[in-house]
C-alpha cells in the first residue's frame, strides 16, 4: 500500500484563518483542496509538507454566484462535478463546463476542485513516478536532482501544464482572485502561469486562490476539445479551448484560442486568433487558423504518445473546435466525449 | 436410473455461487487477512537493470526500532522456478540483479511504514553492467550475459528450437503463391485489479501456512518446500480468492517465499502485499515476439506449407518461457490444415521483468501474424477472408501434421455463424472509407496435456462428502480466479445429485484439506476438475440410489434422481428426499465419501518438444470486429464485436459469456493500447494511469454465439472458454483497420500514431504499412524432422471446390489432417449424467 | 500527529484514533476491519477503493478521515440492509457481473449512487457514470446489464430473481452491448 508521509492537518473555517495558518507554516506548509493532485504526489514523495492547510471546510470557497449576463464567480473549492453541471456555467461558459467535465473520472470530479485544477502541478512522465522509480532513472531537477531528463542540456524544466480548466478559463477571459498575507489581488487567468515546469505559477505559495471571476458571457460562444487515449482517467495530452464573439452577419469580433498540455503553461495562440478577427469563419480560413494555432505547440517526449503525433493533433483539434463553433460538420466530439 | 427431465443447470445461465461473498465485501482476499501479532514485510528491489552486488549491508536496517527481521539472498540460497528446466530464480538476488525491480532483501517490521524505512536503510553497492534491453540487442550481444544458462549459439539465448513436420520444401514447391511477412507483437501485462499478496504463519509446532493470491497453490507448495528446505508435509498453502490473475499469478514469487522465511525467522505471521509498481515488476506477462511467417498456397487458397520463425523477448528469468516458446509454434496447425510445417523459435534473455503466461500463453502473437497474413493471402488470390479460412479449416476427429489430436471441432460453424451474424460479406470492402470489418479465427487448449513437472498422477482430484443431514461438501484444489471454477464444481455436482449449485458446500485450494488440482492455468479447470467432479458425483449418486432402491424396493434402474428427491420413474410420489436418501446411504455404507480424478490421455507426439500443444480438447473461435478509424487522428474505435465460440457445451452459460466478453475486452486492450514499454532500462509507465487499460467507454457491444459440439471427453461435453476467445479479436482488429483505411499495421498495439504514419506513407504513394521489416540474423538449431502421423496422406476432398479453386489438383497431396482415434459422441442432448 | 475522530460509517458512529495522514482507505481496512473496501493503486487511478460520502462516490485512497468527519460514509458492508441484499448485489450475482470480485465493491457503490439519482439510466449514462471504475475481468458488459436489471426491478419493470440461483425467469431486454 502506498501511504502518505506524516504531516499535521489544519482545517481552518475562514479564509482569514487559512491565510494566517499557511503564512505561519512557511515553506513547510501546503494548501490542499480536493487532494486529488497533491495526495498522489505526496505518496510518491514529490512533496513532503509538514503542515497541510485544508481549504474544504471554508464555506464561502464552495459557492458559485452570479449569472451569465452579469458574470459569474466560482469559488475555488467548487468541485469539478459542480462546475461541469452548473446550469449557468453550461449556458454562458461552455468551454469551462466541458473542460471540468472532461477531467479524470467521475469520483475524482466529485473530489477535485476548480482551484486545485488551476493550480495543478505540471506533469512529466519522468516526474510522476514513485520515489523508487525516480531514484532508478536518476532524479531530475524538478525533484531531488539537477538535470532535465527530457532535454538533458536544458537549464530549465519542461514539465507540461496539464490542467483542463486553465485553457478554458483563459479563453473565457477569466480572472482569479488571490488572497495572501499581503492582501488581495486579482490577475487574469493567463497571468497566473509562468513558462517554467518548476515554478509554474506566478502566485506566491502562501497565496490562496479564492475564486474564478468570469466576465459577462454576452455574445461569446466557446468550446473545449481534449486529446487523450481513453474517455476517462487520462490527463490531456492536448487541450484546445476556443472562445469567439461574433457580431452581425457572423463576423468574428473577438477570438481567443488557447492550447493546453503543449508547454509548461497554457499557450495563447494570439496570432492565430488575430487571423479570424473581422472575418467570417469559412472552412478555408479555419484551416489556416488551425495551422497558425498549432505552430507554438512544441511537445517533448514526456507524455503519452509521440511528439510528432501530439504536435500534429494540435492543428486537427483547433480545426475541429473552430468548425464546431462555426456550425460546420466536424469529426470527433468536444470535451471528453468519445 | 435416469435423470428427471433433462439438465436443470448445465447448458443454461445461472448465478455464480461465489456471488454473495463477492458482492457484500465478505470474500476475504489475501490482503484482507490480519492475524494476531502479524508483521508487515517489504522487499528492497534493485534500481538498476543489470549489476553485480558488491556489498549489501543490512545492519542499519536491523537496528531500526520496530524491525524484526531482515533477510537477504544468503538466507534463501536455493534456486527455484516454475519449470523444472529453468530453476534460475532466487527469492532474493545473491550476486547479481537482472532488472529494475529484482528483489535483493526483505524486511519484517511492526508496520508497513517501518518496513519501508528499513528497506531504505539497507546499503547496497553495485557494479553496474551493460543492460540488454531488446530482441535485437540480445541476438547481437556477445560479451554481456544476462543469465548463466542457455541454449546458444549466442550468450543471451534461453531456448532455441526447430521442428519440421512433413516435407516443407516440397510444400513450398507445390505452392502457386508464397508470401513472407514480418510482424511484431509488443509485450503487455495482466494488470489484475488485486495486487499480489501473501500471508505466512509458522506455528509453534513447526508447521508453515501460507495464504496467497495464487493461481497455482500446488506449485507454490513445491517451491516453498524446495527453497525453505521443509518437507511438503509440513507446509500448507491456501489460495485465497484471486482478484484477477490472467496468468500473472501462476509462478511461485519472491514475496511468497520471503513472507514464509520471515515468518519462520520471527515466529510471527508476516504479510507482504505488493504495490502496483511492484506488480509491474513481478510481471510474467505477454512476451514481446518478433515473427517471420512464410506461407505457400494454391490458387484456391489451400495452404501447401508454412514456416514460422519467432523471437521472444523473455526478460531476465525463465518462468514458463520454454513452454511459451513452443506455444508460439504449436497451434497454427489446429485451425488450418497445414500439410508441411516448420517452426523455429528462440527465447532471449533481456534485463527486463520476466515474461510468462498471459491469457492465451504464447499463442496470441503467432495468431496475430497468421490471421493477418491469411487476409493478405486472400487479397493476393482474389479470395474473401471467409472463403480462404473455410478452405483450410480443420475437421473434427483428425490429427494435425504436428501430431495434435483434434476431437470435437466447431471451427467451420464458428466462421459461418459469425460471418452471418455480422453481415461480414455485405460489409467487407463495401463500407465507406473509415469503416471496416475484420475476421479472424483461433483455437485454444482445454488444459495442457502434461503437467509442469513430470509425473504420472492425476491432474485434478475431487472428493465429495455427504452428511446425514443431506449436506454436500465438495473438496478440490482448484482456485477460483474469477473464471468461475467454484461454480463449475458446484454446478456439476448439483446437476448429478439433483440439487442446486448454491446448496453445495465447497472447500477449495487448500493443500491440507483438498485433493490436488494443478492450478488455474491453461484453461484446464472446467475440463479436468470438472471431469473429476463428475466422476465423484456419479459415484455418490450410485450410493444414494442404491440405498434408496433398497428402501423403496424399486430397482435402481427404475429410479430417477430429480429435484431434491430420488423417486420411482413410474410413480413420482414413491420416493425419498435427498436428506432421507443420505441417511439411508450412510446407514448402509458408512461415511459417505466418494472421489474422482482426471488424468488426460497420453497425447504427446513422437518427438522432443511434443509436450507443449497437446490437449484433451480444443476450443475454437471466430470473431468479426467492426471499427471506425478517424483518418485525421488515426484513432481506431471498435464499434461492435461478433464472436462465435465452440464451447463444446456450457456448464453455465452466464459464466461462459462472461469469459468471452472478458476475453474480448482484454484483446481490444492489447490490440489498441496496452503495452509494456521500457526506457533507459526502466519500465516506462508502471502505473494504472499510464498503462492504458480500457474503461467502460472503450468497450463496444459484443454479440456472442455459442457453438455446441459436445466434446466426447469434456464433462457434459464442455471445453474451455477463458482464453481462446481473446485470440481472434486482435488480428480481427488489424484486418478491420485495413478494411477501413487500407493500411496494414503489422504490429500490436495499433496506436493512433502508427495508423497516421501508415496513412501518410500511403498518401505519398508508399505501401501504407507500419511494422518491422526484418528479423535479425540468427542461427536456429538444425531442425528435428518429424514424420506426419500415420494415415496422413489422404486424397484432397475431390469435388468440393472452394472459391477460385484451381483445376487439376493431384489426388495424393496431403490434406494436412489424419484421422484421430477419438470418436464423436452422440450429438444429442448432453450425456445423461 | 494522531487524531481522535468519530466517523459515521454505514449508519454507525465509530471512534478511531489514528495518525492524521492515514487515508480513509487505510482506516477502514486497518483500524475498523472493514476490508470490503479494496485497493488497486492508492493513487486515484483505478476506482477500486470507491466509497460513498453523503451518497456521492469518492476515492477512499485520496480522502483523509478528518475531511469527512461529520459526513455519512457508506462502504460495501453497508449496502445490504438488515441481511437483505441490495437489488444491485442480487443482480451482480445473478448475471455474473462479479468475476474475480475485486472491483465489485467500488463498482456497486458507484452504481448505487447512480440509481439513487436516476432510477432509469440509459446505457450511456451508466457507462459514463462508472467510467472511473476499472474492471479487468468482465469487459463491463455484464455490469451494465446488472445495473439495468437492478434498476428495472426497483421500478417494478422486471421480475424478481428466482430463489435457487437458477436461470432468471426473464432477462433484461438487451443481452449484451456496451457504449457505442
Ligand atoms: C487518475 C487521475 C486523473 C486525473 N486526470 C486529470 C485530468 O484529466 N485533467 C486535469 O486537469 N486534472 C486531472 N487530475 C488532477 C486532479 O484530479 C484535478 O486537476 C483536480 O481538479 C485537482 O483539484 P484538487 O482540489 O484535488 O487539488 P489539490 O490536490 O487539492 O491541489 C492541487 C494543487 O493546488 C494547490 N491548491 C489547491 N487549491 C488551491 C487554492 N484554492 N489556492 C491555492 N492553491 C491551491 C495545492 O496546494 C496543490 O499544490 C487527475 C488526477 C488523477 C489522480
Ligand atoms: S521536464 Fe525535465 S526537469 Fe522537468 S520533470 Fe521532466 S525530466 Fe524533470
Ligand atoms: S486504490 Fe485505485 S483509486 Fe483508490
Ligand atoms: S470482476 Fe475482476 S476486476 Fe472486475
The range of the structural domain enclosing residue B684 comes to 289-450+606-770
Contact A108 C57 (CB under 8 A): no
> How many H helices and E strands in chain C?
5, 5
Q: Does residue A212 surpass a pLDDT of 50?
A: yes
Please report whether residue C126 resides in a domain. yes
What pLDDT does residue B6 have?
79
At B221, which CATH number? 3.90.1170.50
Q: How many CB atoms lie within 10 A of CB B760?
A: 14
Task: Give the CATH number for residue A245.
Answer: 3.30.465.10
Question: Angle at which helices C123-130 and C141-154 pack, to 10 degrees?
Answer: 120
Q: Which residue has the cell 509521440?
A: A306
Banded pLDDT at B806 (limits 50, 70, 90): very low
Among B11, B193, B487, B687, most C C-beta atoms within 10 A, so best to mutate, is B193
CB nearest B753 (choices: A3, A231, A306): A306
Do C37 and C13 sit in the same domain of this protein?
yes
CB neighbour list of residue B377: distance below 8 Å, 6 or more residues apart: B177, B179, B295, B297, B301, B383, B388
Residue-number span of the structural domain to which A106 is assigned: 1-123+159-338
Taking the C-alpha atoms of residue B124 and residue B585, their distance in angstroms, rounded to an integer, is: 66
Q: Evaluate whether residue B787 is within a structural domain.
A: no
Phi, psi for B242 (deg, rounded to 5): -95, 120
pLDDT-wise least confident of B188-192, B328-332, C125-129, C160-164? C160-164
Q: Which ligand is nearest to the CA of C23?
A: 3
Alpha helices in chain A (DSSP H): 15-25, 38-43, 80-85, 87-92, 94-101, 106-111, 114-118, 131-137, 165-171, 270-276, 283-294, 307-326
- B425 and B566 in a single domain? The answer is no
Ligand 4 pocket, Cβ-based, cut-off 6 angstroms: B 193, 244, 482; C 98-104, 135-138
C131 to chain B, closest Cα gap in Å: 5
Shortest CA distance to C162 belongs to which of C112, C90, C109? C90
Q: How many residues does chain B have?
A: 833
From atom 50 of ligand 1, which residue's Cα is the shortest distance away? A104
Interface test with C, best of A107, A117, A233 (most C CBs within 10 A): A107
- Please indicate, yes or no, if residue C166 is contained in any of the structural domains: no
In this structure, what are the phi and psi dihedrals at residue A265, rounded to the nearest 5 degrees? -140, 165
**Cα-flanking dihedrals φ and ψ of residue B138, to 5°?**
-65, -35
The three grid cell numbers given for residue B833, joined into one nine-digit string: 449424467
Q: C171 in a domain, yes or no?
A: no
pLDDT given for residue B821 in this prediction: 54
- Percent of chain B whose predicted confidence (pLDDT) is above 70: 94
Provide the percentage of residues in chain A whose pLDDT is more than 70: 100
B447 backbone dihedrals φ, ψ, rounded to 5°: 95, 135
State the virtual CA torsion across B664, B670, B674, B678 in degrees, nearest 10. Answer: 150
| Sign, CA torsion B211/B214/B216/B220 | negative
Place of cell 465438495: B474
The domain that contains C46 carries what CATH number?
3.10.20.30
In whole angstroms, give the CA distance from residue A7 to residue A51. 5
What is the domain count for chain C? 2
The SS3 of residue B757 is helix
* Whether B478 and B507 share a structural domain: yes
Residue of A nearest to B99 (CA): A136
CB contact under 8 A, C20 and A56: no
C173 pLDDT more than 60: no
Ligand lying closest to the C-alpha of residue C24: 3
Residue B795 has pLDDT above 60, yes or no: no
- Decide if C101 contacts B18 (C-beta within 8 A): yes
In B563-650, which ranges are E strands? 565-568, 575-577, 592-598, 618-629, 636-648
Distance from CA of A10 to the nearest CA of C (A): 10
Which residue among A11, A40, A232 places its CB closest to the CB of C132?
A: A232
Strand order in the sheet with B270-273: B67-72, B103-109, B39-45, B270-273, B197-202, B208-212, B235-239
Region B226-250 average pLDDT: 98
Chain A touched by C157 (CB under 8 Å): no
C42 in contact with ligand 3, CB cutoff 6 A? yes
**B553-568 pLDDT per residue, tens:** 999 999 999 999 999 9
- Nearest 5°: the CA angle B731, B377, B335 is 55
Q: How many domains, chain B?
A: 3
As for the ipTM of the complex, it is: 0.97
Q: Are residues C125 and C66 in the same domain?
A: no
Considering the domain architecture, whether residues B816 and B719 belong to the same structural domain is answered as: no
* Alpha helices for C27-164 (secondary structure H): 87-95, 104-117, 123-130, 141-154
B721 CA to centre of ligand 4 in angstroms: 17
SS3 B139: helix
Indicate whether C176 belongs to any domain. Answer: no
Average pLDDT of the segment spanning A287-303:
93
pLDDT mean over C7-26: 97
Of the candidates C177, C63, C46, C167, the residue with the CA atom closest to the CA atom of residue C102: C46
Give SS3 for A153: coil
- What does the pLDDT look like over B349-407, one tens digit per residue? 999 999 999 999 999 999 999 999 999 999 999 999 999 999 999 999 999 999 999 99
Higher pLDDT, B815 or B113: B113
Q: What share of chain C is helix, strand, coil (3-state, %, to 5)?
A: 35, 15, 50
**Residue B824: is its pLDDT beyond 70?**
no
Nearest to B113 among A3, A133, A136 (CB): A3
In terms of Cα–Cα distance, which of B454, B627, B530, B521 is closest to B250? Answer: B521
Residue range of the domain that includes C137: 87-155
Backbone angles phi, psi at A150, to 5 degrees: -80, -45
- List C-alpha distances in Å: A239 to A160, A254, A336, B762: 12, 20, 10, 29
CB contact under 8 A, C1 and A233: no
| Grid cell at residue B130 | 551493460
* Whether residue C72 sits in one domain with residue C36: yes
> Is pLDDT of B205 > 80?
yes
Cis peptide before B153 (omega within 30 of 0): yes
Report the candidate in B189, B132, B143 with the shortest Cα–Cα distance to residue B348: B132
Is a pLDDT exceeding 90 seen at residue B39?
A: yes
With a 6 A CB cut-off, is A84 part of the ligand 1 pocket?
no
DSSP C85: P
According to DSSP, residue C30 is labeled I
pLDDT of residue B790: 83
Q: Please tell me the pTM assigned to this model.
A: 0.96
Rounded to whole angstroms, the Cα distance separating B160 from B382 reads: 37
Q: Is residue B160 part of a domain?
A: no
Distance CA B43, CA A179 (A): 46
B614 is a domain residue: yes
Segments of B719-777 assigned E as strands: 744-745, 747-748, 769-770
**All 3 cell numbers of residue B598?**
482426471
Residues C16 and C69 in one domain: yes
Domain identity same for B552 and B567: yes
B261 and B209 in contact (C-beta within 8 Å)? no
Q: Residue B828 pLDDT more than 80?
A: no
Per-residue pLDDT at B33 exceeds 60 = yes
Task: Tell me the C-alpha distance between B137 and B132, whole Å.
Answer: 6
Separation in Å, CA B671 to CA B330, B354, B745 = 22, 21, 10
- For residue B135, being part of any structural domain is answered with no
Domain of B714, CATH number, reads 3.30.365.10
- The reply to whether omega before B749 is within 30° of 0 (cis) is yes
Distance from the CA of C61 to the center of ligand 1, in angstroms? 15
- Measure A152 CA to ligand 2 centroid, in angstroms: 9
Count Cβ atoms within 10 A of the Cβ of residue A27 and give its class: 0-12 exposed, 13-18 middle, 19 or more buried. exposed
Average pLDDT over residues B820-832: 47
pLDDT at residue number B562: 92
Amino acid at each position: 500500500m502506498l501511504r502518505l508521509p506524516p504531516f499535521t492537518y489544519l482545517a481552518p473555517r475562514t479564509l482569514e484563518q487559512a491565510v494566517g495558518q499557511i503564512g505561519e507554516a512557511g515553506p513547510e506548509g501546503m494548501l490542499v483542496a480536493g487532494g486529488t493532485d497533491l495526495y498522489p504526489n505526496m505518496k510518491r514523495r514529490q512533496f513532503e509538507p509538514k503542515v497541510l492547510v485544508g481549504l474544504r471546510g471554508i464555506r464561502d470557497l464552495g459557492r458559485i454566484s452570479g449569472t451569465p449576463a452579469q458574470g459569474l464567480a466560482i469559488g475555488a473549492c467548487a468541485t469539478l462535478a459542480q462546475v461541469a453541471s452548473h446550469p449557468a456555467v453550461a449556458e454562458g461558459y461552455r468551454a469551462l463546463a466541458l473542460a471540468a467535465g472532461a477531467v479524470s473520472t467521475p469520483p475524482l470530479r466529485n473530489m477535485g476542485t476548480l482551484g486545485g485544477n488551476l493550480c495543478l502541478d505540471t506533469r512529466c512522465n519522468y516526474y510522476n513516478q514513485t520515489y523508487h522509480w525516480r531514484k532508478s532513472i536518476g532524479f531530475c531537477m524538478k525533484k531531488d536532482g539537477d538535470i532535465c531528463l527530457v532535454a538533458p542540456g536544458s537549464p530549465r524544466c519542461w514539465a507540461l501544464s496539464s490542467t483542463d480548466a486553465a485553457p478554458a478559463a483563459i479563453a473565457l477571459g477569466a480572472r482569479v482572485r488571490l488572497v495572501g498575507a499581503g492582501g488581495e489581488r486579482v490577475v487574469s487567468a493567463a497571468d497566473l502561469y509562468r513558462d517554467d515546469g518548476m515554478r509554474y505559477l506566478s502566485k506566491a505559495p502562501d497565496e490562496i486562490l479564492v475564486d474564478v471571476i468570469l466576465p459577462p458571457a454576452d455574445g461569446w460562444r466557446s468550446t473545449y476539445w481534449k486529446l487523450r487515449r481513453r474517455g476517462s482517467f487520462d490527463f490531456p495530452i492536448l487541450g484546445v479551448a476556443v472562445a469567439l464573439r461574433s457580431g452581425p452577419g457572423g463576423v468574428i469580433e473577438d477570438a481567443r484560442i488557447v492550447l493546453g498540455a503543449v508547454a509548461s503553461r497554457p499557450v495563447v495562440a494570439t496570432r492565430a486568433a488575430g487571423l479570424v478577427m473581422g472575418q467570417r469563419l469559412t472552412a478555408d480560413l479555419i484551416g489556416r487558423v488551425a495551422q497558425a494555432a498549432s505552430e507554438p505547440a512544441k511537445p517533448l517526449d514526456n507524455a503519452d504518445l509521440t511528439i510528432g503525433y501530439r504536435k500534429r493533433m494540435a492543428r486537427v483539434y483547433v480545426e475541429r473546435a473552430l468548425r464546431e463553433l462555426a456550425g460546420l460538420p466536424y469529426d470527433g466530439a468536444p470535451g471528453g466525449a468519445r | 436410473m435416469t435423470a428427471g427431465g433433462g439438465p436443470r443447470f448445465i447448458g443454461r445461465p445461472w448465478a455464480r455461487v461465489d456471488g454473495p461473498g463477492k458482492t457484500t465485501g465478505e470474500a476475504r482476499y489475501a490482503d484482507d487477512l490480519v492475524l494476531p501479532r502479524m508483521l508487515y514485510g517489504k522487499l528492497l528491489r534493485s534500481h538498476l537493470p543489470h549489476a553485480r552486488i558488491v556489498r549489501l549491508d543490512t545492519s542499519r536496517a536491523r537496528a531500526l526500532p520496530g524491525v524484526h527481521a531482515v533477510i537477504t539472498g544468503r538466507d534463501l540460497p536455493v534456486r527455484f522456478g516454475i519449470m523444472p528446466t529453468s530453476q534460475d530464480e532466487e527469492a532474493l538476488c545473491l550476486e547479481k540483479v537482472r532488472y529494475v525491480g529484482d528483489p535483493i532483501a526483505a524486511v519484517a517490521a511492526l508496520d508497513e511504514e517501518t518496513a519501508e524505512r528499513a528497506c531504505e536503510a539497507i546499503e547496497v553497492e553495485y557494479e553496474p553492467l551493460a543492460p540488454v534491453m531488446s530482441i535485437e540487442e540480445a541476438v547481437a550481444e556477445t560479451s554481456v550475459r544476462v543469465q548463466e544458462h542457455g541454449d546458444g549459439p549466442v550468450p543471451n539465448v534461453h531456448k532455441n528450437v526447430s521442428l519440421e513436420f512433413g516435407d516443407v520444401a516440397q510444400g513450398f514447391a507445390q505452392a502457386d503463391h508464397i508470401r513472407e511477412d514480418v510482424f511484431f507483437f509488443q509485450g503487455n501485462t495482466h494488470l489484475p485489479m488485486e495486487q499480489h499478496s501473501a500471508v505466512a504463519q509458522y506455528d509453534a509446532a513447526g508447521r508453515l501456512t501460507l495464504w496467497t493470491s495464487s493461481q497455482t497453490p500446488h506449485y507454490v507448495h513445491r517451491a516453498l518446500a524446495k527453497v525453505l528446505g521443509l518437507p511438503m508435509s509440513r507446509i500448507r498453502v491456501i489460495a485465497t480468492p484471486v482478484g484477477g490473475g490472467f496468468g500473472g499469478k501462476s509462478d511461485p514469487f519472491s514475496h511468497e517465499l520471503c513472507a514464509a522465511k520471515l515468518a519462520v525467522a520471527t515466529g510471527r505471521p508476516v504479510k507482504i502485499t505488493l504495490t502496483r509498481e511492484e506488480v509491474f515488476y513481478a510481471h510474467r506477462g505477454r512476451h514481446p515476439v518478433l515473427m517471420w511467417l512464410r506461407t505457400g498456397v494454391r490458387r484456391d487458397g489451400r495452404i501447401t506449407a508454412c514456416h514460422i520463425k519467432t523471437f521472444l523477448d523473455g526478460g531476465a528469468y525463465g518462468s514458463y518461457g520454454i513452454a511459451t516458446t513452443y506455444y508460439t509454434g504449436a497451434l497454427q496447425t489446429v485451425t488450418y490444415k497445414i500439410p508441411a510445417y516448420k517452426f523455429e523459435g528462440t527465447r532471449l534473455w533481456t534485463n527486463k521483468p520476466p515474461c510468462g503466461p498471459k491469457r492465451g500463453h504464447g499463442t496470441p502473437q503467432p495468431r496475430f501474424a497468421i490471421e493477418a497474413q491469411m487476409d493478405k493471402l486472400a487479397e493476393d488470390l482474389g479470395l474473401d477472408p471467409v472463403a480462404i479460412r473455410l478452405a483450410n479449416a480443420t475437421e473434427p476427429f483428425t490429427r494435425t501434421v504436428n501430431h495434435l489430436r483434434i476431437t470435437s471441432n466447431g471451427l467451420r460453424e464458428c466462421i459461418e455463424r459469425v460471418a452471418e451474424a455480422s453481415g461480414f460479406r455485405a460489409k467487407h470492402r463495401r463500407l465507406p472509407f473509415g469503416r471496416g470489418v475484420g475476421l479472424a479465427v483461433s483455437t485454444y487448449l482445454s488444459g495442457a496435456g502434461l503437467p509442469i513437472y513430470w509425473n504420472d498422477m492425476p491432474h485434478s482430484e475431487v472428493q465429495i462428502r455427504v452428511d446425514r443431514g443431506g449436506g454436500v461438501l465438495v473438496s478440490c484444489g482448484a482456485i477460483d480466479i474469477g473464471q468461475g471454477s467454484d461454480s463449475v464444481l458446484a454446478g456439476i455436482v448439483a446437476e448429478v445429485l439433483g440439487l442446486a449449485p448454491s446448496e453445495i458446500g465447497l472447500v477449495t485450494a487448500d493443500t491440507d484439506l483438498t485433493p490436488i488440482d494443478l492450478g488455474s492455468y491453461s484453461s484446464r479447470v472446467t475440463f479436468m476438475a470438472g471431469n473429476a467432479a463428475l466422476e465423484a458425483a456419479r459415484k455418490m449418486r450410485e450410493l444414494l440410489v442404491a440405498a434408496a432402491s433398497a428402501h423403496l424396493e424399486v430397482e435402481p434402474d427404475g429410479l430417477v434422481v430429480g429435484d431434491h428427491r430420488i423417486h420411482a420413474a413410474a410413480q413420482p410420489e414413491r420416493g425419498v428426499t435427498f436428506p432421507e436418501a443420505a441417511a439411508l446411504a450412510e446407514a448402509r455404507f458408512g461415511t459417505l465419501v466418494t472421489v474422482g480424478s482426471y488424468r488426460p490421455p497420453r497425447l504427446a507426439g513422437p518427438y522432443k518438444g511434443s509436450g507443449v500443444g497437446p490437449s484433451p480438447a480444443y476450443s475454437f473461435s471466430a470473431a468479426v470486429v467492426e471499427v471506425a478509424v478517424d483518418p485525421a487522428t488515426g484513432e481506431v474505435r471498435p464499434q461492435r464485436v461478433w464472436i462465435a465460440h465452440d464451447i463444446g457445451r456450457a456448464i453455465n452459460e452466464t459464466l461462459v459469456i462472461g469469459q468471452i466478453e472478458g476475453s474480448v475486452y482484454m484483446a481490444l486492450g492489447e490490440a489498441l493500447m496496452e503495452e509494456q514499454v521500457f526506457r533507459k532500462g526502466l519500465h516506462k509507465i508502471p502505473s494504472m494511469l499510464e498503462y492504458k487499460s480500457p474503461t467502460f467507454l472503450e468497450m463496444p457491444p459484443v454479440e456472442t454465439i455459442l457453438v455446441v459440439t459436445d466434446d466426447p471427453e469434456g464433462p457434459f461435453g464442455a471445453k474451455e472458454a477463458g482464453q481462446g476467445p481473446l485470440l481472434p479479436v486482435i488480428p480481427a482488429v488489424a484486418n478491420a483497420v485495413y478494411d477501413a483505411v487500407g493500411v496494414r499495421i503489422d504490429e500490436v498495439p495499433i496506436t493512433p500514431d502508427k495508423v497516421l504514419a501508415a496513412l501518410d506513407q500511403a498518401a505519398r504513394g508508399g505501401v501504407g504499412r507500419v511494422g518491422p521489416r526484418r528479423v535479425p540474423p540468427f542461427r536456429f538449431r538444425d531442425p528435428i524432422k518429424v514424420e506426419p502421423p500415420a494415415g496422413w496422406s489422404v486424397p484432397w476432398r475431390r469435388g468440393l471446390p472452394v472459391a477460385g479453386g484451381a483445376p487439376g489438383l493431384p489426388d495424393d497431396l496431403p490434406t494436412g489432417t489424419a484421422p484421430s482415434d477419438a470418436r464423436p459422441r452422440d450429438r444429442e442432448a448432453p450425456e445423461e449424467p | 500527529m494522531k487524531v481522535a475522530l468519530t466517523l459515521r460509517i454505514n449508519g454507525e458512529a465509530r471512534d478511531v484514533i489514528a495518525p492524521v495522514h492515514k487515508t480513509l482507505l487505510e482506516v477502514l481496512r486497518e483500524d475498523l476491519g472493514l476490508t470490503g473496501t479494496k485497493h488497486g493503486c492508492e493513487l486515484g487511478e483505478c476506482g477500486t477503493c470507491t466509497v460513498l460520502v453523503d451518497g456521492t462516490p469518492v476515492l477512499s485512497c485520496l480522502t483523509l478521515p478528518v475531511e469527512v468527519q461529520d459526513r455519512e460514509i457508506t462502504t460495501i458492508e453497508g449496502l445490504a440492509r438488515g441481511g437483505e441484499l441490495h437489488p444491485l448485489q442480487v443482480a451482480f450475482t445473478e448475471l455474473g457481473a462479479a468475476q474475480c470480485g475485486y472491483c465489485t465493491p467500488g463498482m456497486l457503490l458507484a452504481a448505487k449512487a447512480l440509481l439513487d439519482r436516476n432510477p432509469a439510466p440509459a446505457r450511456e449514462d451508466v457507462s459514463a457514470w462508472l467510467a472511473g471504475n476499472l474492471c479487468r475481468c468482465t469487459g463491463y458488459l455484464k455490469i451494465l446489464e446488472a445495473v439495468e436489471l437492478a434498476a428495472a426491478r426497483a421500478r417494478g419493470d422486471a421480475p424478481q430473481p428466482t430463489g435457487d440461483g437458477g436461470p432468471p425467469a426473464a432477462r433484461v431486454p438487451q443481452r449484451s452491448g456496451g457504449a457505442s
